[in-house]
């Protein structure tokens, strides 16, 4: 997937003006935000579950090498082949080699954000393999030739009318807007691909060390068909997704669907362990698991390792006022929203995504709703500190911060300057609002500020005490 994160500001302005996008993103409030709020009331002690889930993830990461070794040992004992990939390019090379080894002509895919990191589809198509996305949202995006805009609902940025027009154009069928009819149309198109594919490619929400199993959570039956019908199944996931036991996975599964889609439980939770048994009616003859590092071990060794707790529920972006306004494509890579504002700079380089740690209000909505208690605002602050230390800020911003720090260290001077500033702002705004600020066009181009009354907080407080 092409990285467009350096264009974040321009793309954000474009998305703010997109009325269709605004209507589409309103679905987040009605479906995911309210759904999560309703579902967490089902816990007798919700915070205790969050604390326990965070502890599971921390325990996994603290002994990641031990659990990865156990996973490989148990998966191999059940007939799977485990591959280790240091980079996304390694993932692509391994999958292409497997496709060539098994004479694969068509691959069907389901549930994998890691393959988006790798741009796997392009690599396979370049090797002559037809690739078909089978998650409904991903299938729609494949027709539209667009990347996902959300990690759970990849097509949330499109309206029903846009999807209807796309289906009519690509399928050459009559225009229709009934959701059931559109879903049936996609199902009829995809069914033949499931039956003729040589390889199924999936991700894994979790990799379970004690059994060597991979687990995917879906609301569509396509996940099971991708992992059982083709004779070759390849599961691709990041090394951080390993958890020690089935019990640990069960705990996380109580939180994942509630935070992702507002459901108490997803329609399908599919555990894949080993290859097809000799007398079984379905299952792959060959099962390969690819574990990608892709910068994760470096994050694990850093002060930002808490981001690796992430279970990819999408709750942080559903509740983020910035994401709710601009959607996911403005962020410019695989992972949008608050979690993407941390992960993208770490995976692709801070210099290529320097706007993303600043693409937040730091209101902490994301931290409050994260099921594994990732302190996302704190991590974004640390990335901002790195930017400042590495000289990535503009000279105007660095000068402004130095001047502010000089005054802030001298309370008398700070009080004098702030008193003067509030009087100037009162003069500029009169009795209503400030419509334009010198050196603050980025703020006042899109909003007005209420005019202050001409006194600082300290002056008002001293007067009230008096």
Model-wide pTM > 0.85: yes
Q: Residues in the chain with pLDDT < 70? A: 431
**What's the pLDDT at 433?**
84
Sign of CA pseudo-dihedral 114, 165, 260, 110: negative
Burial class (CB in 10 A: 0-12, 13-18, 19+), 449: middle
Task: Kindly report, residue by residue over 335-381, the tens digit of the pLDDT.
Answer: 999 999 999 999 999 999 999 999 999 999 999 999 999 999 999 99
Please tell me the predicted confidence (pLDDT) of residue 254: 96
- Give CA separation, 102 vs 18, 186, 246, 381, 410, in Å: 46, 28, 32, 48, 72
Residues 115-151 pLDDT 10s: 999 999 999 999 999 999 999 999 999 999 999 999 9
Q: Which two tokens stand for residue 265?
A: 């439980």
Q: How high is the pLDDT of residue 238?
A: 98
Helix, strand, coil percentages (3-state) for the chain, rounded to 5, are: 55, 10, 30
Give residue 421's pLDDT. Answer: 87
CATH number of 5-297: 3.40.50.10420
Domain residue extents for the chain: 5-297, 400-465
């Amino acid at each position: 997937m092409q990285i467009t994160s350096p264009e974040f500001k321009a793309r954000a302005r474009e998305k703010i003006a997109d009325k269709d996008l605004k209507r589409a993103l309103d679905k987040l409030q009605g479906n995911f935000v309210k759904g999560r709020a309703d579902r967490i009331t089902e816990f007798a002690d919700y915070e205790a579950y969050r604390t326990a889930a965070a502890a599971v993830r921390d325990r996994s990461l603290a002994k990641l090498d031990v659990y990865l070794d156990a996973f490989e040992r148990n998966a191999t004992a059940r007939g799977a082949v485990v591959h280790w990939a240091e980079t996304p390019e390694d993932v692509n090379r391994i999958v292409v080699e497997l496709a060539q080894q098994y004479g694969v002509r068509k691959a069907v895919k389901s549930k994998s954000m890691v393959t988006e990191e790798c741009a796997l589809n392009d690599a396979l198509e370049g090797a002559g393999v037809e690739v078909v996305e089978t998650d409904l949202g991903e299938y729609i995006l494949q027709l539209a030739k667009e990347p996902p805009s959300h990690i759970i609902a990849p097509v949330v940025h499109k309206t029903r009318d846009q999807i209807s027009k796309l289906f009519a154009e690509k399928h050459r069928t009559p225009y229709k807007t009934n959701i059931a009819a559109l879903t049936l149309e996609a199902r009829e198109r995809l069914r033949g691909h499931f039956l003729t594919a040589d390889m199924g490619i999936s991700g894994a929400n979790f990799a379970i060390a004690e059994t060597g199993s991979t687990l995917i959570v879906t609301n569509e039956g396509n996940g099971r068909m991708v992992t059982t019908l083709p004779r070759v199944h390849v599961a691709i996931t990041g090394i951080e997704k390993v958890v020690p036991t089935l019990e640990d996975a069960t705990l996380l599964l109580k939180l994942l669907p509630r935070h992702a889609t507002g459901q108490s439980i997803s329609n399908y939770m599919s555990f894949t362990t080993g290859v097809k048994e000799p007398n079984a009616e379905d299952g792959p003859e060959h099962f390969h698991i690819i574990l990608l590092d892709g910068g994760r071990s470096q994050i694990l060794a850093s002060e930002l390792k808490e981001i690796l707790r992430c279970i990819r529920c999408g709750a942080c972006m559903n509740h983020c006022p910035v994401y709710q306004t601009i959607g996911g494509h403005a962020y410019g890579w695989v992972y949008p929203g608050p979690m993407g504002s941390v992960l993208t700079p770490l995976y692709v380089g801070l210099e290529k995504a320097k706007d993303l740690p600043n693409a937040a209000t730091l209101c902490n909505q994301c931290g409050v709703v994260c099921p594994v208690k990732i302190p996302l605002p704190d991590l974004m602050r640390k990335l901002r500190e790195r930017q400042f230390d590495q000289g990535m800020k503009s000279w105007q911003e660095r000068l402004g911060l130095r001047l502010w720090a000089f005054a802030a260290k001298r309370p008398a001077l700070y009080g004098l300057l702030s008193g003067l500033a509030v009087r100037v702002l009162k003069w500029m705004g009169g009795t209503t609002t400030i419509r334009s600020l010198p050196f603050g066009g980025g703020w006042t181009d899109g909003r007005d500020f209420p005019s202050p009354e001409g006194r600082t907080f300290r002056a008002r407080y001293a007067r009230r005490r008096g």
